[in-house]
Chain A
Amino acid sequence: MKRKNILNRLKLELENSLPDSANIINKVKNAKVEKDLSPVYDAINSVNGTMVLNTKYNIAYIAGLMCLTMLLFTMLLILLPIFNAILYPEKNIVTKFGIDINPSIDLMLDENDQVVWALAKNKHAELLLCGENLEGEHVKDATNKIIKLAARAGYFSTKTESDITNAVMLSAVSETEEKQNFLLDSIKSDVKNFYMNNQIYGVVLTEFDSKQELVDLVCCLDYDLTDEQKIALQNESIKNLNHKLTESYTQLKRRFRTDFILEEFNNKLNPINEQFNSETTSIKTKLTETENKLNNFESVWLAEIEICKQKIAEWTAQIAALQEAIKFALNVEEVGRLNAELEIKKAFLTSEEEELENREQGSAMFNAEKDKLINLVNDYKNQIKQKHQQRLSSIENILGQIKGPFGTLYNKLENRKLEILKNGDKQFAEHLSHLQNYNEFYNNYSDWLINSAEQIPTIQLNWNEIKQNWEQQYLNFVQF
């Protein structure tokens, strides 16, 4: 069979088996076919840029859906407080637990020591707790989390063993003191463990037994603090107090050196000296002049008598010459002019003769003049002395300012040393056990205090040297 025949026969077979056209056309024409209007909506959307509601989701369907949603929402609103009350009963705050690193956080705890809410007391704390939810956590877990966060945020330094800025201050206010102490003790040991595990050198302090001591220590070491500043220290954070303590300690160590002490002394002395000099310079000048006058008073007095005598002789000679001239005058007019001149010279002579007589015979005038000068000299001297006294009292004050705190400190050191020496090992053990309560911080300072106490003789030697220097300076002023 040829190809064409095969194709024709196949075509014929298929043509014959074609379904009844009329049947299909009728079925299709009569069938209710919903036109897919998606292209129309797409075209409208693309033209207007607005969404057209697809009629597939009719209004009734959407309205029903909205009603159902609203119904569910309303039910949820009604039932939510009920579920909330069942699932989360209201909790009473019975304890306030404070953690102060520099971020300061207060944890409000219920009777099971679970955090009801956490209060950030400063910006650092707000940042630290940002994104953290401590509610419902046990206070130990919450504290642990806070310490870890603080460590991660770089609030703890791991530089040196003596870095006393790593301090955590714990405080608790609860119904009973027992609970308060229990909380503080347990959490303090947790934080200590954290320090040990993370090789952080620092202290854990509790407010009731440490802050006041810290303030006292700062006040003791920093004698430049005014009373107001000392009161203000009570409100400082532990970290700031530690900083102040470090600064005061460093400053004090510097002050044990003679050169620094003298420098400070001179710094305070200079303005007093300047004031003294400016006030006394003019008085000194007047005093010198007056004293000179007093010393030369008699010789000046005698010299003036001689001058009077010379002037009398001079006036007498001139008068004799005028009298001779009158005798040989040519006319009356010349006689009259010479007579007038003669009268004037006679008046001068009479005056000088009286002066000479007074000086030679009047001791009252001499004594009055002399006493006047003596009084002036004494007055000037008194003025200078008064100024000097003022200056000396100022110097005494400065010495007192510098010496006073040293005295207090030396007394403290001496007392501590005597206490330890007197009561021996027992007192020392008690001392150490007491210090252990304050951890490394007080250990550091106790070490320093003990070492310092042992160095008292050396310090005393230095002190004597300083004292001698001061005394020398003082004597210099007094001698003047």
Chain B
Amino acid sequence: MDKKLLDEYLVKLKRGDNEAFDEIYHLTKRGVFSLTLSIVKNPYAAEDIMQDTYLKIKEKILYYKDGTNGYAWILTIARNLSLNYLNKNKKVDVLDTSEHEYLMASTDKNFVKDDMPIFKIAKQHLNDFELQVVVLYAVYGYKHREIAELLHKPLGSVLWTYNNSIKKLQKILKKEGKDEA
């Protein structure tokens, strides 16, 4: 993860170079997705939020200050949009079931794709904060300190939560016989 490179691309985008967007996307897509997924816990919704995040980046690119932490800025946008989504869906608990299947899937908090067993277990047994820490660390390769800053939590809490979450997952996987190693 090259922060300087991302900063350069963000500056280019700010100056009107639309091609820089591709690079920005490729550099940040994992982080954005894993963060949104860890919050909304629904891959379809995460995909929508991801798209909204990049649209928002284009819209608000002039707010980006050159030479600052571009990752943090993008992830903050993603996180805020995810939280907005959650808030919005709290208010729409009842939906017409005859709607499109995708819509149902995207709004179902418990929906998880079949090819994501570990994530499914993690989602079932870890709380929101634990899941966010694990996903950000595992997928995006964030350091504990960076996770603490991003989630506005003390570093100690993040470390403790991470260790605790992994132990919890180990135990569950062992119990469920999915421990192949």
Contact = CB atoms under 8 A, between A and B. Distances in A.
A6 B169 contact: yes
Interface stretch (A27-35, A203-211, A229-237, A430-438): A27-35
B119 interface: yes
A28 B117 CA distance: 31
Contacts of B170: 1, 3, 6
B13 to A, nearest CB: 10
A55 interface: no
A34 B21 CA distance: 16
Contacts of A1: 170, 173-174, 178-181
Nearest to B43: A17
Contacts of A31: 55, 58
Interface stretch (B24-32, B75-83, B97-105, B149-157): B24-32
A320 interface: no
A35 B26 contact: no
Contact of A24 (B54, B115, B118, B139): B54
Nearest to B141: A11
A16 interface: yes
Interface in A1-51: 1-3, 5-11, 13-19, 21, 24-25, 27-29, 31, 33-40
B93 interface: no
Contacts of B47: 19, 24
Contact of B166 (A6, A16, A33, A39): A6
Interface string B20-50: 0110011001100110010000010011001
B63 A36 contact: yes
A35 B16 CA distance: 11
B61 interface: yes
B72 interface: no
A17 B115 contact: yes
Interface string B108-145: 00000101111100100000000000110111000000
B60 interface: yes
Contacts, number: 107
Contact of B55 (A3, A6, A33): A33
Contact of B113 (A5, A15, A17, A38): A17
A37 B62 contact: yes
B18 interface: yes
Contacts of B179: 1
A35 B63 CA distance: 10
Contacts of B139: 10-11, 14-15
A272 to B, nearest CB: 106
B33 A18 contact: yes
A31 B59 CA distance: 11
B51 interface: yes
Contact of B116 (A17, A27, A29, A35): A17
Given A11-B139, A14-B33, A28 B54 contact: yes
Contacts of B55: 28, 31, 33
Contacts of B59: 33-36
A36 B30 contact: no
B50 A15 contact: no
Contacts of A10: 118-119, 122, 134-135, 138-139
Interface string B55-74: 10011111100000000000
Interface string B162-181: 00001001100110001111
Nearest to B22: A25
B21 A28 contact: yes
A1 B59 CA distance: 44
Which of A16, A29, A34: most chain B CB closer than 10 A? A29
A386 B53 CA distance: 129
A24 B173 CA distance: 34
A346 B76 CA distance: 164
Contact of B138 (A11, A21, A24, A27): A11
A35 B62 contact: yes
Contacts of A27: 51
Contacts of B115: 13, 16-17
Interface string A251-273: 00000000000000000000000
Which of A27, A28, A33, A37: most chain B CB closer than 10 A? A28
A29 B180 CA distance: 43
B181 A5 contact: yes
Which of A15, A18, A36: most chain B CB closer than 10 A? A18
A39 B25 CA distance: 24
A7 B169 CA distance: 10
B118 A9 contact: yes
A14 B37 contact: yes
A101 B166 CA distance: 94
A35 to B, nearest CB: 6
A29 B13 CA distance: 12
A19 B37 CA distance: 11
Contacts of B33: 14, 17-19
A7 B63 contact: no
A28 B51 contact: yes
A7 B138 contact: yes
Contact of A14 (B51, B119, B166, B174): B119
Nearest to B51: A24
Interface of A: 1-3, 5-11, 13-19, 21, 24-25, 27-29, 31, 33-40
Given A3-B170, A13-B119, 5 more contacts: A8-B138, A10-B138, A24-B51, A28-B25, A36-B62
6 contacts: A6-B138, A13-B118, A13-B119, A17-B116, A25-B21, A36-B63
Interface of B: 18, 21-22, 25-26, 29-30, 33-34, 37, 43, 46-47, 50-51, 54-55, 58-63, 113, 115-119, 122, 134-135, 137-139, 166, 169-170, 173-174, 178-181
> Top 4 closest A-B pairs, CB basis?
A7-B138, A19-B47, A1-B179, A13-B116
